[in-house]
Chains A and B, each alone.
Chain A
């Protein structure tokens, strides 16, 4: 007994002694910071941060290998506490939220009948899943099951829906998705992203110059989630109210529903949600990244400048817009008549952009009131030059200096400068573009008795939007095609007559174009007291001064600012351009797209010094997505916006078109096919199916 006690005591004593000595000899000084940090962490050991448990995360934070806000499970409070321990301060972290691009769901074609375990990972082990589309969602909901925050739900057509309010960006769904089609993306990354050929892009998304995710916002409208629809649009286009009214919607031309039915009224839907936001009378909050400390000057407050300023601001830069006119908006304000875009609405939209924290200086003209030297001295790191195309082409005919002769841009701009133009009763408009139509319809509203639009080609060649031409015709504007003015005749300095010559179109030249040529001695006289020339625009390059920094800017032979197509950078490295002054006159949404592209370039130029090219940048339409038939489509009539009676329109500038009702918008949204990459391309799918079948046959043949 004694022996036993002695021996056990002895062993215990030796062990204790050894451990005591060891703990002294082999003492490792543990960082007290680690313990403190660990106490601040929630201790859930969820692993969402990528470290094995909260202790490992604490070590990483304390040693500076990880930022104090890596904890995804705890939310902002935990981040703040950890930061307090570390003696840092959290500036609102930009959330990274999970999302997927796939829109196939149930209607994607199945390769084979799968009756195995209802899990994407299991299904993926069998020939990459059942869906013929290699990039498509398999729809078994593995991501839904893997989400610790219940932020993913399965939609009715077996596509996961990500709830941004609940998503903490832990990345569990990404790790569990065998297809790798879920990604975490921050607003910054979204803004910097441009379409790539490798993506699943519906034709409308490819065609839209601003690259708005059209199917996504239509889907949101269908579900009644208007706020998300607006935010989706605003990731690409800060001016949905304006574009919803004035955009000639190239996206609708390419809409696949239009192959068998009428295209989806995409732009009406955009206007519908934009109007919804305005009727809430509160600008929706959009994310703005933490301040980067860089300052950018934007010259020109038109669509390109506003878009560039808006996206730069959202990327965290400090932006100042310089505008030569009394108010922002550029051509949207001074070129588009009130009845198409009420300026109250434009004001509200611009207010939303400016409220993000953008400085504005109006009534200052580049080259006169300020120059590049001034901007450099004021500490700007980069400059965006989006001065538009404000110079009108002359008719180059006799009598252009007579009273009653106007240029289209000047004519339209005067309405908004508090000085409506005074015109006569008999008005002739020269030109076939949108400016010409705008001028014609505006003249009618000013009280002109007879308005004639003179165009040197025929109606088919008119560059104006079809809808605008139709509206002009409805309002009673006379169209005089195949005619060009040659002389303006005047009396006492006032014009009284216009002499024009009839034209005919030549046979198509090798490039397929039919040029107008005058028919000899077909001159005709026409009574008119006003003539408005709207035959073309080009940038007004009058700011270049010899011996100044700006003289390094290169100008092309078309009088536009020269720059690199891939970056929009000009010959002066810190000056970027885009919009009409780079491309020549184009539509607003082109300028908006260019504004974001320039913002991307400026962002990389400032933060990284060089501008990486957009990999695999989508510029042309992807052929496989342009399928020519859609099976089993029943005709559903396209929505129409209520319009003012034609009789009521003349003589005032009230907005002609009104927005859809919520019911009509929902019905219209339901018409969207949600085209993906191939999941709606039945022809291609059939071909692929045959190919698959033949592969299967030959495999079986070999076995035999």
Chain B
């Protein structure tokens, strides 16, 4: 039950994109087409889970024992960046099809604040290992969900009447705001 709540909370209520407003850059950047949004979403789910696990371990066995928690942010950035690079190199050689599906998105996530944010949240909320895995996975799902929904909306913009001044990113931000408001409707659920 606790895990289900955790998932619902991460996907809908505290959606990383629409409630926390992290990862704004890919949210606006790769949401123009449904295909790319789906690819990006999957890549984020994958990276976010992996990064949280590694950073959790780094925190648990390196930073905490040496009383160096103040280095958290910088250490996590370093670890996540290297990790994504490593995964990219690894996938390119060992998992060719997966690389072709996600490959071009991986470098984009290297310094993604959503990934870092989730990693930091896991520590801050003092999650246990399974909680942490589920939370980060669900956060990734939430990201993907928001991204795909947003892309669906933006695809419609192509054929909509939009005032000249609001075309492109402007209307994107306004829409994101409305989506965010809509997601606040989930607040009372937990």
Contacts and interface: CB of A to CB of B under 8 A. Distances in A.
Given A117-B160, A121-B159, A8 B92 contact: no
A11 B62 CA distance: 9
A687 interface: no
B58 interface: yes
A374 interface: no
A183 B86 CA distance: 46
A117 B89 CA distance: 47
B58 to A, nearest CB: 7
B175 interface: no
10 contacts: A7-B62, A8-B75, A8-B78, A11-B79, A15-B79, A22-B86, A22-B89, A23-B89, A119-B159, A121-B159
Interface string B87-103: 00110111000000000
B189 interface: no
B1 interface: no
A8 B66 CA distance: 12
B66 A3 contact: yes
B68 A4 contact: yes
Given A8-B74, A22-B90, 16 more contacts: A4-B68, A4-B70, A11-B78, A12-B78, A15-B82, A16-B82, A22-B86, A22-B89, A26-B90, A28-B93, A52-B104, A117-B161, A118-B161, A121-B158, A122-B159, A142-B159
A44 B186 CA distance: 42
A119 B159 CA distance: 6
Contacts of B78: 8, 11-12, 15
A11 B159 contact: no
A211 B103 CA distance: 52
B71 interface: yes
A181 B158 CA distance: 20
Contacts of A142: 159
A427 B82 CA distance: 105
A25 B86 CA distance: 11
Given A26-B89, A28-B92, A28-B93, A7 B159 contact: no
A118 B159 CA distance: 8
Contact of B68 (A7, A12, A23, A52): A7
B179 interface: no
Nearest to A142: B159
Contacts of A23: 89
A122 B75 contact: no
Residue picked from A7, A18, A122, most chain B C-beta under 10 Å: A7
Contacts of B82: 15-16, 18-19
A27 interface: yes
| Ranked 5 nearest A-B pairs via Cβ | A15-B82, A26-B93, A119-B159, A122-B159, A121-B159
B19 interface: no
Interface in A503-562: none
B80 to A, nearest CB: 10
B20 interface: no
Contacts of A122: 159-160
Contacts of A12: 78
Contacts of A15: 78-79, 82
A15 B85 CA distance: 10
Nearest to B160: A117
Contacts of B70: 4
B107 to A, nearest CB: 13
B121 interface: no
B86 A7 contact: no
Interface string B138-167: 000000000000000000001111000000
A27 B93 contact: yes
A16 B92 CA distance: 19
Interface string A113-149: 0000111011000000000000000000010000000
B6 interface: no
Nearest to B67: A3
Contacts of B159: 117, 119, 121-122, 142
Contacts of A11: 58, 62, 75, 78-79
B63 interface: yes
Contacts of A119: 159-160
A391 to B, nearest CB: 66
A7 B90 contact: no
Interface in B33-92: 58, 62-63, 66-68, 70-71, 74-75, 78-79, 82, 85-86, 89-90, 92
A358 to B, nearest CB: 50
Contacts of A117: 159-161
A121 B157 CA distance: 11
A7 B85 contact: no
B74 A26 contact: no
Contacts of B92: 26, 28
Interface string A17-34: 011001101111000000
A27 B82 CA distance: 16
B102 to A, nearest CB: 13
A121 to B, nearest CB: 5
Nearest to B62: A7
Interface string A65-109: 000000000000000000000000000000000000000000000
Given A19-B85, A117-B159, A122-B159, A7 B66 contact: yes
B71 A4 contact: yes
Given A15-B82, A117-B160, A26 B94 contact: yes
Contacts of A16: 82
A8 B71 contact: yes
Nearest to A27: B93
Residue picked from B74, B78, B159, most chain A C-beta under 10 Å: B159
Contacts of B90: 22, 26
B75 A19 contact: no
A117 B86 CA distance: 48
A52 B68 CA distance: 45
A117 B78 CA distance: 49
A26 B85 CA distance: 12
Contacts of A25: 93
A15 B80 CA distance: 10
Residue picked from B62, B89, B93, most chain A C-beta under 10 Å: B89
Contacts of B158: 121
Nearest to B93: A26
A394 to B, nearest CB: 73
Nearest to A18: B86
Contacts of A3: 66-68
A242 to B, nearest CB: 50
Nearest to A6: B66
Interface in A167-203: none
A18 B58 CA distance: 15
Contacts of B62: 7, 11
Contacts of B66: 3, 7
Given A12-B78, A117-B160, A7 B63 contact: yes
Nearest to A16: B82
B159 to A, nearest CB: 4
Interface in A18-58: 18-19, 22-23, 25-28, 52
Contacts of B85: 19
A52 B74 CA distance: 35
Nearest to A120: B159
A239 to B, nearest CB: 47
Interface in A568-621: none
A7 B58 CA distance: 11
A20 to B, nearest CB: 10
Nearest to B63: A7
A487 B93 CA distance: 98
A49 to B, nearest CB: 17
Contacts of B160: 117, 119, 122
Contacts of A22: 86, 89-90
Contact of B89 (A4, A19, A52): A19
A119 B155 CA distance: 14
Given A11-B62, A26-B94, A28-B92, A19 B86 contact: yes
Contacts of B63: 7
Nearest to A145: B158
